[in-house]
Structure 1
Amino acid sequence: MTTPGETLATESERFASFGWMRGTSGNLSAVVSRDPLRLAVTASGLDKGSLTGSDVVVVNEDGAAVDDSGRRPSAEAALHARIARLTGAGAVVHVHTVEAVVAGRRWPTGIKLEGLEMLKGIGVAAEGEQVTLPVIANSQDMGVLGDRLEAARDPQVPAVVVAGHGLYAWGADPMRARHHTEVVQWLLEFSVRLG
């Protein structure tokens, strides 16, 4: 059986191969228990293209480490925990893509999406329905960032763009979080190219 750490290492390698987690940027998490809430989160300061199954930290609902790995969790672990609590997600992906940053600058009040077949990948009809991918201002304070995400979140869209920073997407499990990330990234690429 695959451990949460092994799953996150595999997913990190995949996203890094796309250039979405350059250097040590980005982070991923997977819920390991709900009561109490515990998440395995990729450790801080490591190259996301070469993680191993042990390169994770288990954190609590506040994003604080609760294991004795000696590793430091991502500074954004508290936001991962907040997203898991708020949405019921089982996994969260945070990538730093150029398109997310460009789109956040171009459409600071949100990115309107409609009439695209790829919308079905996030559960939105390809025709007759418009959704807005929220864009929120960045903050180094995860409490402030979490409040902004909660206020802007559209329950139909399992993602949010953080201006000047990147993309957060989530899903019921790591595979669904991966799919949502890839679909939203495609939608961002389309929107940026269309202008």
Structure 2
Amino acid sequence: MTLLQEKQELLWNELADIKDELAERDWFPGTSGNLSIKVSDDPLRFLVTASGRDKRKRTPDDFLLVNENSQAVEETSLKPSAETILHQRIYEQTNAGCSLHVHTIYNNVISELYGDEGSITFKNQELIKAFNIWEKDGSITVPIVQNHADLPRLADAVSKQIQPGVHGVLIRNHGITAWGRNGFEAKKHLEAFEFLFHYHLQLKQLTI
């Protein structure tokens, strides 16, 4: 086994562990959601979830290796997730090493409530420290884009929102894509976003 193959196997298991943990939280209803982890930069290669798989189960066919065009590197009967292009754009535009996309009730409701505004900002929240924001009056803004059925158009919409300080993008009535420098950081960012969404909705209910 080559060093690259060893690295790929380690990353495969890391991504599978993340998938298992998120599945336990029921963040993949109806086979939704997709995950990826970068294997190399030049050329770009990353593992991504295969389309239509039950993410509550762990099998050798959960992921496949794709290239800079979101196409399978090796001949396979598996198909990359339809939204693989979103992960590709994130790797092209950031230093991310892992990208996670989930559909939850909280992120869907938040995206609908604030979709017309195009973003939601959180401040005075302890959990924003997960994004390395330590200022007393620090804040974090999550862009919200429309859920275009045309995936290249959706990928373009997400791409336009990627800039320094942005660690995730909400797709209206669809889900969130969050990323980080590695699997640990990407999961940390996703967990923090989901906490902020849940907290905000609970607070709104109490103040109605």
Are positions 1:168 and 2:177 aligned together? yes
Structural mapping, 1:60-71, within 5 Å: 60-71=67-78
Confirm or deny: 8 A CA contact 2:86 2:158 kept in the other structure. Answer: no
Cα distance per residue 1:26-66 (max 9 Å; x no partner): 11000011101011001111111112344211111221111
CA distance in 1, matches of 2:157, 2:17: 30
Structural mapping, 1:53-92, within 5 Å: 53-92=60-99
Among residues 13, 17, 22, which one is paired with 1:15 in the alignment?
A: 22
Among residues 110, 114, 118, which one is paired with 2:123 in the alignment?
A: 114
Of 113-122 and 185-194, the range deviating more from structure 2: 185-194
Q: 1:180 to 1:135 in 2, by over 3 A?
A: same
Instruction: Tell me how far 1:155 sits from its aligned partner.
Output: 2.1
CA distance in 2, matches of 1:61, 1:140: 22
CA distance in 2, matches of 1:125, 1:92: 24
Are positions 1:147 and 2:129 aligned together? no
Identity %: 35
Instruction: Tell me how far 1:126 sits from its aligned partner.
Output: 5.6
Confirm or deny: 8 A CA contact 1:5 1:52 kept in the other structure. Answer: no
Instruction: Tell me how far 1:149 sits from its aligned partner.
Output: 1.3
Q: Residue 82 of structure 2: SS of its match in structure 1?
A: coil
Confirm or deny: 8 A CA contact 1:93 1:170 kept in the other structure. Answer: yes
Instruction: Tell me how far 1:69 sits from its aligned partner.
Output: 3.1
Among residues 33, 36, 40, which one is paired with 1:29 in the alignment?
A: 36
Structure 2 residues not aligned, in runs of 5+: 1-5
TM-score, length basis structure 1: 0.93
Amino acid at match of 2:78: R
Among residues 125, 133, 137, which one is paired with 1:128 in the alignment?
A: 137
- Number of residues of Structure 1 aligned to a counterpart in Structure 2: 195
Q: Residue 40 of structure 2: SS of its match in structure 1?
A: strand
Q: Residue 124 of structure 1: SS of its match in structure 2?
A: coil
- Greater helix fraction, Structure 1 or Structure 2: 2
Larger-gyration structure (1/2): 2
TM-score, length basis structure 2: 0.88
Amino acid at match of 2:139: Q
Instruction: Tell me how far 1:154 sits from its aligned partner.
Output: 4.5
The Cα RMSD (Å) is 1.5
Are positions 1:5 and 2:33 aligned together? no
